[in-house]
Amino acid sequence: MAPSIKVGDTLPKGEFGYIPWAPELESHASYSHSHVEFVPSKIDTEKDWKGKKVVLFSVPGAFTPTCHVNHLPPFLEKYDEFKAKGVDVIAVIAANDLFVMSGWARFEGCKDKIVALSDPGAKWSAALDLSVDLTDRGLGVRTARYAMIIDDLVIKYVEVEPAPGVSVSGADAVLAKL
């Protein structure tokens, strides 16, 4: 799969839902019995990422085996290395809804280090030829496994995994390109 965007292109506008992390979310209390508000928010790439260095990596699904064990955790473990290289924002994106993404981020311990974004139906990713149809596995259309480095809305790195597993979209590969 080849994305329709390439290094040097301006990142196409995207709006993604997410739930901002707050310490109160760590209680895992029931939505209906909690004083915590799970307030859906939006990230507008043109507004919120202008002037920033962003690492965006995509997984086919929260809690899915490779994503949950091999893809997200190394980004969290190497958070300080990313920050030392001038990264302002690390974000993970998937086709899951924003509540699932929030729950996964809390389970993984992302706190305010990695923003978990929802790309419902992988619509934004699909527009960039960065989606994968996993209907035959009961998962529907999902975001492909990919990574980008975005600097002031300009793509500096974009790679899609050529096969199952994590290589070009993993934390080490992205760090090497910063």
Q: Mind telling me the catalytic residues?
A: 67
- Bin 145: left if φ > 0, else alpha if -120 < ψ < 50, else beta: beta
Paired tokens of 86: 């001038």
Q: Which helix (H) or strand (E) holds 46?
A: helix 45-48
- Report the pLDDT value the prediction gives residue 161, as an integer from 0 to 100: 87
The answer to whether 4 touches 129, Cβ cutoff 8 Å, is: yes
- Report the pLDDT value the prediction gives residue 32, as an integer from 0 to 100: 47
Give me the residue spans of the domains in the chain. Answer: 15-177
- Report the pLDDT value the prediction gives residue 33, as an integer from 0 to 100: 47
Amino acid letter at 9? Answer: D
C-alpha distance from residue 71 to each of 13, 48, 81, 122, 134 (Å): 25, 25, 16, 18, 18
Among the listed residues 52, 53, 81, the one whose alpha carbon sits nearest the alpha carbon of residue 171: 81
- Report the pLDDT value the prediction gives residue 68, as an integer from 0 to 100: 59
Q: Which residues pair with 10 in a beta bridge?
A: 154
CATH entry 3.40.30.10 includes domain 15-177: yes
Q: Which helix (H) or strand (E) holds 161?
A: none
- Report the pLDDT value the prediction gives residue 24, as an integer from 0 to 100: 67
Q: Model pTM?
A: 0.89
Residues of the chain with pLDDT under 50: 30-33
Cα–Cα distance measured from residue 142 to residue 95, given in angstroms and rounded to the nearest whole number: 5
- Report the pLDDT value the prediction gives residue 30, as an integer from 0 to 100: 47
